[in-house]
């Protein structure tokens, strides 16, 4: 899938859109699926073009939600039934349970 016409942006959006409800993926994981380590680029692209995809299902590798919309992301995740873990600093996602594996890693 992802034919030759697909570029990095489309690949990222495609992977994010493919994350099932209740599951999560980290920026690095998405980059890995695309065959790259550009986790930062993934975040930037989602911020720009991810308005139509479930970006709240994409979190950092340590399980903390996106730095820009953490409060909103937590609320959405909680609403979607994602297992959250309360921390002294706020909330954190249990990647160990909710991580969605897709090829590689």
- Asked if 31 and 38 touch (Cβ cutoff 8 Å), the reply is yes
Q: Is 13 in the site for DNA (CB under 7 A)?
A: no
Q: Is 8 in the site for DNA (CB under 7 A)?
A: yes
DSSP 6-27: --HHHHHHHHHHTPPTT-BEEH
CB of 97 to DNA, least distance (A): 15
Q: Is 96 in the site for DNA (CB under 7 A)?
A: no
Member of 89, 96, 103, 104 binding DNA (CB under 7 A) = 89
Binding mask 23-62 for DNA (x = CB under 7 A): ---xxx-------xxxxxxxxxxxxx-xx---xx-x-xxx
Q: What sign has the CA pseudo-torsion 99, 101, 102, 105?
A: positive
């Amino acid at each position: 899938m992802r034919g030759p016409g697909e570029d990095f942006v489309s690949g990222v959006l495609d992977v994010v859109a493919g994350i099932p409800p209740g599951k999560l993926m980290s920026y690095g994981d998405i980059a890995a699926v695309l065959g790259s380590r550009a986790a930062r680029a993934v975040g930037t692209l989602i911020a720009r073009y991810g308005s139509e995809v479930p970006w709240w299902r994409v979190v950092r590798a340590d399980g903390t939600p996106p730095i820009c919309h953490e409060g909103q992301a937590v609320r959405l995740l909680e609403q979607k039934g994602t297992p959250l873990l309360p921390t002294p600093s706020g909330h954190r996602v249990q990647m160990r349970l909710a991580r969605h594996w897709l090829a590689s890693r």
